[in-house]
Amino acid sequence: MKRLPVDQGMLYYLIKDKRPKLAEHIKKTGSIDTVIIGLGRQGMKHAGLMKDFGTKITAGISKGRGGSRIHEIIPVYETITDCVKEHPNIAIASIWRHYSGVKDVAIEVIESGIPIVVLISEFIPLKDVRDIIVAAKKHKTILFGGNTPGIIFPPEGIKVGMLPDIFYPEEKNSEEFGPKGVTIVSRSGAILYHMSDALASVGIAQNAVLGIGGDGAIGTRFLDIVPVVQQYENTDLIVIAGEIGGCQEEILAEDIAKHPEKYPKPIVALISGSNAPEGKTMGHAGAIVTPGQEYGTFKSKKAAFEKAGVPVVNGQHDLIKEVQAKLKNKQYFPVKSYREKLRKNWEEPPKKPEWATLITKIEPNNIIISGYPLQDIVKDKTLLETTYLLIKGKFPSSKETLSMEKIALEAVKIPTPKASIFKGEDIAKTLGRFLVSDEKLADYSKKSIKASLEIAVFGLGRIARYLSAILKTEKNIEDIKDDAIFTDVIYQVLTGEKKISKKKAELLEAMIVASVDHGVTPPSTQSTLIAASVRAPFEVALAQGVGAITDVHGGAGTKAVHFFKKCVEIAKEKQIDLSTATYEVITEYVRDGKRVQGLGHRIHTKDPRRDILWTKAEKAGIAADSVELSKKITEIFKQARGIDLPINVDGVIGAIIADLGLNPILAKAVFIFGRIAGLSAHYFEEIISQPQMRRINFAEAVYKGRE
């Protein structure tokens, strides 16, 4: 069923009454932002349940956890002040803090301008409640609670608090919900659940259920909210769920009697506690009958309401009977709809744990990074810009890019750590040793989690420095100027050339960007995530990931370089055309049980990065024999083996490296260089959004980022 647009429901009506400008924003965007304060066990649990119900939880607030995320996608801030700077259109806040520390937090939330505050906390000291209520009145805030189960708006699919999903809205037709129904205003959570079930069982819808709170002093009384709800055009009747204790019900009844014009809609009152003795609490701080007083009793409340012309009931059967009479037996939906919903709720299996990421979505022939196709990123963006996207979920401004350039260059200028470089050793193993022995990187990575981008960029700069030592090109970066560009530094490090060819530099960087990430399933990412889960330092986790880049994972590019070079050499030696020479080499590989690397992919039949790299190679003027062969290799392989294997990004990179005349090891260096950016992003996502030592199920990976 299609939910009611938010600007047609009761919640929007309440917000508009207090903050007209915010209501305009909601109407324009079609969504209502909420924030949850207090991320203990209950706050965390119900944040997930509210989100699953349909509530847009924009942020969470928890001291000491700023910069992290809950439920993978919800950012956490230190204070509400920090939050509203980033999210100025928060409309509702729910507070789940312990009563001992709730006063200052509640007042700060109210003073931030949020129009509706749901104060879940109970047993708040009376003097603290007084100050909170004063602040709410001053800032024209609707304050529900303390000690409220929350508020829920079934047609819109929005709830704030701990109310279960048992409420049912009007069915406008067979495809969409409508806004009309009964509004329940209650002091008790348990009572309103039973009332809702009773009404729904005979087809009476609820368009809103408002738990105003059960403590002795609360922010919004019946007298405050019932007249407001009366003016909402889609409310046909209001059910007041009161209980013994206090005089809220008597005050409302007196106002109804004096000002009937304020109450045009019918009201039915249910008062619980008819048999409670004087001085006995029913579980709420407010539900205590004061001995010897003529108010607060079931009898006094019943008399007051009946004097005002409001019928009073004391059970579900009588409630149904009275409401049906007032509504002339109107039905808002087929009863079978409600029963079917309950059946589904009962039979629904427990929700499987997901392993979510906001970074990369992998699908056949498409790689999406934070909503952007990787082929478009390869075409237009630098490695630093792509790193910003991986970690921040958006592209940087020119000022932010300049800042990253400075950090990367700062890292490049620092001498290579003292670590052995063994002849013939796999480059991944050497880089891993540099990472774990680099004291400068270790010190830098101790910065706050808020500096995750800076740490990642610094790490890329250090990788450039390590590669200069491995490739013996350090002389090219000894006198880097402060206004140098990281793209040029990468070119000087990888090629050994001092003079920079802009187009070739862009091509090399494009190959690096093409390798930045391939989701959560590659072994290098899995290794990094496992290390992050046990909170290994940044440089150690990167070393773990790089260590998993072997000939099996990440080594195809280097082998592809050797393959293309061999094909070109045989063609020249035998003076035969390149296709014939390639056919011979493939036949030889098959005979010797060797695999032609750079062909085939477990997901892609047409690697989305392929065409962009071919185009860039042509523009750079280096698309020679190997690149041309890479375009034909699939057909030649099919002729030789009878198998249709498309060329992948490793094969294209191998062909370009071969035509550039560079050391084959550079294909793997390019892969690792790019993958450092992706591994950094996954490391910080794990630290920010997940508990320590979580059980990671890589088969349950779910992308939750921007489409």
C-beta of residue 161 within 8 angstroms of C-beta of residue 46: yes
C-beta of residue 139 within 8 angstroms of C-beta of residue 132: no
β-pairing, 158-161 with 150-153?
antiparallel
Helix, strand or coil, per DSSP, at residue 172: coil
Catalytic annotation, pick one of 284, 518, 601, 604: 284
- Spatial neighbors of 682 by CB under 8 A, at least 6 apart, are 357, 359, 517, 520, 525, 528, 529, 532
In 534-648, where does DSSP find H-type helix?
538-547, 556-574, 578-591, 610-619, 625-641
Q: In what order do the strands lie in the sheet with 235-243?
A: 158-161, 150-153, 206-211, 181-186, 235-243, 267-272, 312-313
Helix, strand or coil, per DSSP, at residue 275: coil
Residue 11 backbone dihedrals phi, psi, to 5 degrees: -60, -45
**Rounded (to 5) percent helix, strand, coil in the chain:** 50, 15, 35
Q: Would you call 284 a catalytic residue per the annotation?
A: yes
Amino acid (1-letter code) at residue 220: T
CA 502, 505, 511 angle in degrees (round to 5)?
145
Determine which helix (DSSP H) or strand (DSSP E) holds 91, and give its type and residue range: strand 90-95
* Residue 479 exposed, middle or buried by CB count within 10 Å (0-12, 13-18, 19+): exposed
* CA atoms of 193 and 162, how far apart (whole Å): 11
Of 488, 493, 444, 430, the closest CA to residue 465 belongs to 493
Determine which helix (DSSP H) or strand (DSSP E) holds 295, and give its type and residue range: none
- Spatial neighbors of 196 by CB under 8 A, at least 6 apart, are 166, 167, 168, 184, 206, 209
C-beta of residue 661 within 8 angstroms of C-beta of residue 368: no
C-beta of residue 310 within 8 angstroms of C-beta of residue 268: yes
* CA atoms of 396 and 360, how far apart (whole Å): 18
* CA atoms of 403 and 651, how far apart (whole Å): 34
As annotated, the active-site residues are: 284
